[in-house]
Amino acid sequence: MDQNKALVVFEDKNIRRIWYNEEWFYSVVDVIAVLTESPTPRQY
């Protein structure tokens, strides 16, 4: 598994992330999906 592209599990949901320029970047859509429990998080 590539450690620079790893999933984070939060409340049984996956959040995509990538390591770039010495920082983690997270998928905003995945974070919104976890926080809002929305079936269509891209609409936010």
pLDDT tens profile 8-24: 888 788 999 999 999 99
The token pair at 15 is 């959040």
**pLDDT class for 1, splitting at 50, 70, 90?**
low
Q: How far apart are CA 38 and CA 4, in angstroms?
A: 28
Range of the domain at 14: 5-43
pTM of the model: 0.75
Tell me the C-alpha to C-alpha distance, in Å, between residue 5 and each of 13, 30, 36, 37, 40.
16, 14, 24, 24, 24
DSSP per residue over 28-40, as a string?
HHHHHHHHH--S-
The one-letter amino acid code at 8 reads V
Domain total of the chain = 1
CA nearest to 6, candidates 23, 21, 18? 18
pLDDT at 32 over 60: yes
What share of the chain has pLDDT > 90, as a percent?
A: 59
